[in-house]
Amino acid sequence: MKNYYSTANINFAEIEKEAAKLLQELFPLCRSLSGDGVRKTYDVLKNVTDFNLTEIPSGKKVFSWTIPPEWNIKDAFIADKEKIKIVDFKNSNLHVINYSIPIDTMITGKELKPHLFTLPELPEAIPYRTTYYKRDWGFCLCYKDYQKINDSEIYRVKIDSALTKGSMTMGDYIVRGTSKKEFLITAYSCHPSMANDCISGVIIWILLLKILKNCALKNSYRFVIGPETIGAIAYIHEHHRALKHVSGGFVTTTAGGTGKVGYKKSFNDTSEVDRATREALVKLNGEILSYPFSLQGSDERQYSAPGLRIPTVTITKDKYYEYKEYHTSLDNLDFVTSSQLMETFSVYVRVIQYLEQNVTYKSRTPYCEPHLGSLGLYPTTGGAINPTNDKSDTGTITTDDIKAMTWILFYGDGKHDLLNIAQLTGIPFESIYLNYRRLEKHSLLQETR
Ligand code: ZN
């Protein structure tokens, strides 16, 4: 018999240890849209908790897109005439443009430079670049190494990669609840060694899956992991009928930086996931840092498409584009720590608590307030009230409880849910939920969906 989901049952210290271990294990792997780096990533995640894997063959059409060839890489370098390696893939897998074609040639510095990417404004950083849909090759390097390249000198350039007819790996798992309501929790697994974008999101994803699998739940949660964009498109291609019924979603990414926890709104900021997220941020942080919905982002673009329209938010700590280390080698394990990641994780688990407890209901006494006193839900002596010692079978009734109960009854027209009432009244969700349960226990309310 599983326990009902409650943040009170989560061992945060144990989870943080697991997150720290995962950061170390996942960071070095050379991930991409496909290939063995992604498979190794999934092997590490499956040690935390199991999920389903699907291999989608290269060349398969998914809507107007095509699954790309599988990419794997063994080694790459740029060496000078003394055979000294100026750039070595073994030092950082960001050095090679992801999806570079194989090459082994001698070339002048002048011919090489159009294939080099560097960041003069961040001279210590190696940028992250990809060439998924154009057959090309290139290297990324620190500006100080770039400056060592002479136009007239000859260099050996080698990329020992392979683009083959293989497959792209996707993972998923549905944790079933008792109601028909379903939420999507999705992460992307295609970025090589960067800690905030995307490993932090992958870690949140697997830790949430582990927790939810071990709980009795009201809602169902559909977990999806794969490469960004093409992975979401491929998943939607196979599952769009089921996805039409999903009430809201989360893209877990950029969750462990040094900045403040905030959230990127969905296209509809009155959606249940938006409201639950704002309520959790107020509860845990006392403020709401929010970013507007935009199409410059991640897989919320696909899941928000006209045929699905799943309101999808991202709870983030240093959102993509907002930190200088973004898409560089400085997005590393100095920048992201397990304790920072846990701040975002705490918001996610609180949001899920609210989604589990949120209810739309109707009052069974719609023509006037019920007589709460006769049910032990109101102080029996009239006048100035401070009924903190007034016990009933549902616990001590306080002035705040009475306020919450009267608002819950007031909004009992079937058009409001508990999150909505918390936000309309400013009463914390926990108090709204507790008092909803009190009234429901006395058959004063009826859940409508
Ligand atoms: Zn990215």
Question: Residue 322 Cα, ligand 1 centroid: separation in angstroms?
Answer: 12
- List strand residue ranges (DSSP E) for 281-425, in order: 290-291, 312-317, 360-363, 391-392, 395-396, 413-417
Least confident piece of the model among 204-213, 387-396, 435-444: 387-396
Q: What number of other Cβ atoms are within 10 A of residue 439's Cβ?
A: 24
**Span 337-369, pLDDT tens digits:** 999 999 999 999 999 999 999 999 999 999 999
Amino acid at 45: L
pLDDT at 386 over 50: no
| Residues 49, 53, 56: CA angle, nearest 5 degrees | 160
Question: Residue 188 Cα, ligand 1 centroid: separation in angstroms?
Answer: 9
Question: Residue 191 Cα, ligand 1 centroid: separation in angstroms?
Answer: 7
**pLDDT at position 211, please?**
97
pLDDT at 387 over 60: no
In the structure, what pLDDT confidence band is assigned to residue 381 with cuts at 50, 70 and 90? low
Element (H, E) at 242: helix 230-243
Question: Residue 275 Cα, ligand 1 centroid: separation in angstroms?
Answer: 26
**Span 95-109, pLDDT tens digits:** 999 999 999 999 999
Residues 140, 128: Cα–Cα separation, whole Å:
7
Question: Residue 407 Cα, ligand 1 centroid: separation in angstroms?
Answer: 44
Amino acid at 147: Q
Question: Residue 401 Cα, ligand 1 centroid: separation in angstroms?
Answer: 46
**pLDDT at position 181, please?**
96
Question: Residue 265 Cα, ligand 1 centroid: separation in angstroms?
Answer: 18
Question: Residue 320 Cα, ligand 1 centroid: separation in angstroms?
Answer: 7
**Span 230-265, pLDDT tens digits:** 999 999 999 999 999 999 999 999 999 999 999 999
What average pLDDT is seen over the chain? 95
Q: Which domains does the chain have, with CATH numbers?
A: 3-67+167-357 (3.40.630.10), 70-164 (3.50.30.90), 360-447 (1.10.10.10)
Give the pLDDT mean for 135-144.
97
Give the pLDDT mean for 5-27.
97
Question: Residue 414 Cα, ligand 1 centroid: separation in angstroms?
Answer: 42
**pLDDT at position 396, please?**
79
In the structure, what pLDDT confidence band is assigned to residue 270 with cuts at 50, 70 and 90? very high
Question: Residue 228 Cα, ligand 1 centroid: separation in angstroms?
Answer: 8
Q: In what order do the strands lie in the sheet with 103-108?
A: 85-88, 70-79, 154-164, 103-108
Q: What is the pTM of this model?
A: 0.95
Question: Residue 227 Cα, ligand 1 centroid: separation in angstroms?
Answer: 11
Give the pLDDT mean for 10-35.
98
